[in-house]
Structure formats: C-alpha cells, structure tokens
Amino acid sequence: MASQSKASFNSNYYHQTCPQAEKIILQTVYNASMHDPKVPARILRMFFHDCFIRGCDASLLLDSTPGNQAEKDGPPNISVRSFYVIDDAKAKLEMACPRTVSCADIIGIAARDVVTMSGGPYWNVLKGRKDGRVSRANETINLPAPTFNVSQLIQSFVRRGLGVKELVALSGGHTLGFSHCSSFESRLRNFTSLHDVDPSMNNEFAQKLRKKCPKPNRDRTAGELLDSTSSTFDNDYYKQVVAGKGVFGSDQALFSDYRTRWIVESFAEDQSLFFKEFAASMVKLGNVGVIEDGEVRLNCRLVN
C-alpha cells in the first residue's frame, strides 16, 4: 500500500483549485437524500466497500467492461446502489473545476456529509486521493461478511491497519440502513444441529424476523432495518446489540466476545464517545491505500 506524504494529503487540498468543491458535493447529496431516504445509508456503505478493496481509490465506481468484471458486480456489491449521486456530483464538479476533484475524494466527502446530515458527527475529510485504474469483482471476497465472528472481523480490519476500536466504531455505521433477508436468514432456521435459531439472538426478535423472512420467500424486498431509528445516525445500533437484537451475526458477535463487548457497552451508554470514535475511525479508514500515481477520472465509471 502506497502511503502519501501528509503534505499533499490534507483537508485544504482543493482550497485554491476548487474552493466550492465541498459545497457542490453537499448540495448534491442533500438533494438526492430528500428524494430518496435510502441514499445516506447507501453512500456510507459505498465508502466502506470502496476503501476495503484496494484502499480508497474509487475502484468500486468503475463499470465492468467486456474484458473485466468490476468490483461493483462482485456478489457483496450487487446491492450497493445510488452511484448516480456520485456521477451527479462529478458532473457538476467537472463544470466548476475541470479535471480537479477525484472520484475517491467525492466518496469520502459524501460519506461524511450523509453522516452529519443524519444527525451524526462532522469531521474534516483529508483530500488529495487519486483514482485507481484497476477494479476486479473477485477481490470483493475480501469484504467482511455479515456471518463473520470477531476473530475474522479483527483480522479483516487489521489487514487495513485498523484496530479493534475502529472495528467496533465503524460497525456503528449500521445505525443507517436496511438488510435483505439473505444476509441474516441463516440465523433464523437450522442454525446448528443443536439450535434452530442463533442462541445469541433475542427470542422475540428472532420470531419477528422469521415472519418477515418466510421460507420460501417470494418478496425480493423483504428484510429488516439495522437499527430502530434507521434514518438517524445515533448509538441505537449498540443498544440493539446489547439487547440481543443485532441483525447480522457479525453485529451480535461484537457483544459475545470479551475483546469487543466492553467497547459496545461504552458506545451504547455514551453517544458522544461513539461519535468521537466514529469520526476518528472514518478519517483513519479514509487513509487506507491512498494512491499518488493514480489519475483524476473525468467520468467516475471509466478510466481516462
């Protein structure tokens, strides 16, 4: 992973070259979210899924070509949507300051904006990322899965230079969003030979989810919100996990492992602590695999 000298990677990177960049991105994201309340959760997830593969280089935005299946068509990313929001911001930025703002920086700024807009913390996004030219669907196997246990999650984050605290803080991104049944239904039936339902799951909650996700399921849109205030960025996710109501196995696992449980409890008790750690973790995640020798794409879906 190429790391950059801090001099060229800072929060005022576009101060001279495109002073209105952040305002243009915020306006675009805000308008899109007003039309579609699912946008904030989708943009936040886009940032995670981009940074976890090859670092934050907007490789997730590249379209597949006849010769290459791109990341966005890898199994975990089929449900990542709202790419049009980034395209829209990019088109406006190309008019205001051509060939200046990278697609990777747009995702980083947009992810911060959707969190702040939803009631979460604000942080200064470091800028100066370049866009990568490589995007491979088969690399998405390296995204942490909703079925992971804590050891697998820790390992996945450590590979990206992120520790246990960052793992628990960034999992709190699930305070925004929704999951389809396919990501958690293995917890609801035939979980193990001993337990039909995952025993770490609150019983009433499990019954509720079984009703929402019947077998066979004819409803492609069926699923569950990841916390009870899914359009507000708050610490409700951690309270749910403490109550045995984490939707993913990987969410609930954070409470059943001594390495992470105390952090979950501290975030459930203190929202401002969670906000502080989430913001710091997002800055750290945004530094993963920043590339200097990439390009500034003119169209986020295509290499130049």
Angstrom distance (rounded) from CA 220 to CA 144:
23
The H helix count followed by the E strand count for the chain is 11, 2
Q: Is 50 annotated as a binding residue?
A: yes
Query: What's the token pair of residue 153?
Result: 């999650």
Catalytic residue among 15, 35, 49, 195: 49
**Which uninterrupted H or E stretch holds 158?**
helix 150-158
What one-letter code names the amino acid at 156?
Answer: S
Cis peptide before 214 (omega within 30 of 0): no
Distance between CA atoms of residues 276 and 269, nearest Å = 14
DSSP state at residue 62: P
Question: Annotated binding residue at 234?
Answer: yes
| Residue in this structure with the two tokens 């070259």, named with its chain if needed | 17
Residue 144 marked as a ligand binder: yes
Q: Which two tokens stand for residue 14?
A: 């576009």
| 59 annotated among ligand-binding-site residues | yes
Q: Measured between alpha carbons, how far is 290 from 277 in angstroms, rounded to an integer?
A: 21
What tokens appear for 144 in the block?
């942490």
SS3 of 131, please?
A: strand
Residue 301's contacts (CB-CB under 8 Å, 6 or more residues apart) are 61, 62, 63, 83, 87
55 is in an annotated binding site: yes
Say whether 71 counts as a known binding-site residue: yes
Q: Is 35 a catalytic residue?
A: no
Q: Do the annotations mark residue 174 as ligand-binding? A: yes
User: Which of 238, 241, 251, 245 shows the shortest CA–CA distance to 203?
Assistant: 245
Tell me: is residue 293 an annotated ligand-binding position: no
User: Which of 304, 291, 295 minimizes the C-alpha distance to 55?
Assistant: 291
Calculate Rg over the CA atoms of the chain: 19
Binding residues for substrate: 144
Q: Which residues are annotated as a binding site for Ca(2+)?
A: 50, 55, 57, 59, 71, 175, 229, 234
**Binding-site residue positions:** 50, 55, 57, 59, 71, 144, 174-175, 229, 234
Active site residues: 49
Binding residues for heme b, by number, are 174
